[in-house]
Structure 1
Amino acid sequence: MKLCAVSFTVFLNYMGVFTHAYEKDYYTEFSYPLDVDLQPLVKQHIDGKVPTTEPINLFNYSYLKSCENKCSKNSNPVIVFVVKSALPHFNRRQAIRQTWGNQNRFSDVPMRRVFLLGTGFDPDIQRLIDQESALHGDIVQADFHDDYRNNTLKTMSGFKWAVEKCSSGRFFVFADDDMYISTKNLLRFIRNPLKYPESQPTPTVKGYVFHTPPQRHKPSKWYVPLSEYPYHLWPPYVTAGAYVVSREALLNLHYGSYYTKLFQFDDIFVALVALKVKIDPVHCEEFYFWKKSYSKFSYRNVIASHGYGDPDELRSVWNEQKSVGHA
């Protein structure tokens, strides 16, 4: 009997049941390094001045491919798609080029598209990527290992690229390569985000917003120990599958990331930076972090939906939505 009780206690501890008792209150005790006012530091960077505080992150990776001429000074793209992709996902990238990532979708709305990649160990894959890049001119590749655990680095490489190589863009859509996106609804949304599809002014960071507790049970893919994050709630965060960032927010997030301790999950890291630079994310129900059940008319207002890793399915759904005026 005693052995059963001990085993059950060990199991509960493994599942994180006791950990919650030691969490700090997010609302009254939150602090995250660097514990300084980031807004003056961000402004110093934007103004080209020497910052009064030394950055703790400089993201000193090199770009192997940087799409130098993707955004000329006169292009002023309304939307720039910055898509996180994995090295072997050639078919997904091609499907995106042919659907929501088509830069010529609207003749009166300039758009640009790049795919973010890290590096791998297979020279044959890299040769194919070199060919893909030469053909399409839309690969941004940095010299960190392409792995799920480096998603924060991949996202920050996208922020850095956008600031340094495409600062003329107005809105930046950061997305995964298994998303369906309606370009048409996206344009409607960035004009009217607060009450989409009604009319309202445009705020800064937009998507499906969560405000949830960290996962404390150790078997979880998203397990986080108290030593890494001791609070009972995450800051409000947009799910990383697809979200929209204005040019002004991009600058704040990019330079704010220099002074925010890195975190393993990219959506949480962006949320931590946003909190520290005082950007409140705006929630919209039409960004689906799961795969929304599909029918021809159920996607009328859908902006983004997860679950489209099958390139043929993406083409089929997107083309049908385009035919009925919803993509």
Structure 2
Amino acid sequence: MKWKWKHIAAVLCLSFLGALVFYVFQVDKVWQVVLYLPGNANPSEEGDHVLTPGPSPYYIIRESNKCPEGKPPPFLVLLILTVAGEVEARNAIRQTWGNESLAPGLGIIRLFLLGVQESKLGHLQQKTLEAESLRHHDIIQEDFLDTYYNLTLKTLMGMNWVAMHCPRASYVMKTDSDMLVNTVFLIHKLLRPGLNPKTNYFTGYIMPSRDMATNRNKSSKWYMPPEEYSNEMYPEFCSGTGYVFSGDMATKLYGTSLNIPLLRLEDVYVGICLERLGIKPTPSPKGLFSNYRVPFSKAIYRNIVTSHHIDPGRMLDYWHKMWV
């Protein structure tokens, strides 16, 4: 029997549909959180790459077994933004406030968030980073350029990871590698594990009203082009140096981000996502969260959550003095 063109076309269509269905069910069941994000891949005037989206929904380093099913969910997930060369800082955090054994019976998960380096040493750094990952199992990485203006992508990567792999976590903290975080105070005094976990909760250092005005100074690190954000005022937002949110917010924030064009300023962008969700940051007691380096004293550091601009040597020294 001779095949007619319409028969051939029908077979080809069915084959294509079958392949498409197979592909959909093989993408690790992440249709709702895939990382095909809108972005601006044009370089900035300084030569930095702005909001370059990853080419695929796959991580380079995923750590998908960090929060296994069948075990109690962690009380706190720490999402720590870092870059490949900050090995000393990561090791200091592992020994101090990021130690996963700080809250016995509750569970802390520590994750360092990275993109990829574009440099002559990039390949060597990547191999070193992968070896570090095999040793500590606390690194997640995606294929976007690791630049200041891509901190938004990096933060969304962390929220995506929590939404995919640890959605029952009670709380999440996003912070930076040059921060000292008093996780003991955060857990036992602010979040208080004896109470039912909060929902729709987001707190940190709420930026003062003078910083809500959109910065149009092209020479500023925090310059916001009007073509990216046209409003003259930002919604209320928390400093990206360190903020805490309830576990349910990871999925909500990430899902909302899929419908909001990315911005170069990560903390502002998260504030816009919160506004879209109709959720306002919860004020914390004054002085708990700081976006500057707090002068050290044992009494003060044992009763705050964050201090900024802490190098690895200070981190180890301060932490030791806090608890002796």
Verify same fold: TM over 0.5: yes
RMSD: 2.3
Residue 152 of structure 2 is matched in structure 1 by 152
Residue 228 of structure 2 is matched in structure 1 by 228
Residue 116 of structure 2 is matched in structure 1 by 119
Q: How does 1:10-29 map to 2 (within 5 A)?
A: none
Contact 2:160 2:250 in 1 (8 A): no
Residue 141 of structure 1 is matched in structure 2 by 141
Q: What's the offset of the Cα at 1:61?
A: 4.2
Contact 1:61 1:143 in 2 (8 A): no
Q: How does 1:47-66 map to 2 (within 5 A)?
A: 57=38, 60-66=56-62
Residue 299 of structure 1 is matched in structure 2 by 301
Match of 2:81 among 76, 79, 84: 84
Q: What's the offset of the Cα at 1:56?
A: 7.0
**Residue 126 of structure 2 aligns to a residue in which SS?**
helix
Residue 178 of structure 2 is matched in structure 1 by 178
Aligned pair 1:313/2:309, yes or no?
no
Residue 251 of structure 1 is matched in structure 2 by 251
Q: What's the offset of the Cα at 1:273?
A: 0.7
**Residue 253 of structure 1 aligns to a residue in which SS?**
helix
Runs of 5+ in structure 1 lacking a partner? 1-47, 193-198
Distance 1:200 1:255, change over 3 A: closer
Residue 205 of structure 1 is matched in structure 2 by 202
Distance 1:316 1:214, change over 3 A: same
Residue 265 of structure 2 is matched in structure 1 by 265
Runs of 5+ in structure 2 lacking a partner? 1-28, 39-52
Q: Which amino acid aligns with 1:92?
A: A
Q: What's the offset of the Cα at 1:100?
A: 0.7
Count residues in correspondence: 266
**Residue 105 of structure 1 aligns to a residue in which SS?**
coil
Normalised TM-score (structure 2): 0.77
The CA distance in 2 between the partners of 1:146 and 1:223, in whole Å, is 19
Contact 1:61 1:144 in 2 (8 A): no
Residue 69 of structure 1 is matched in structure 2 by 65
Q: Which amino acid aligns with 1:189?
A: L
The CA distance in 1 between the partners of 2:129 and 2:178, in whole Å, is 19
Task: After the TM superposition, list the runs of 4 or more consecutive aligned residues in structure 1 that deviate by more than 6 angstroms.
Answer: none
Normalised TM-score (structure 1): 0.76
Contact 1:62 1:142 in 2 (8 A): yes
The CA distance in 1 between the partners of 2:253 and 2:154, in whole Å, is 14
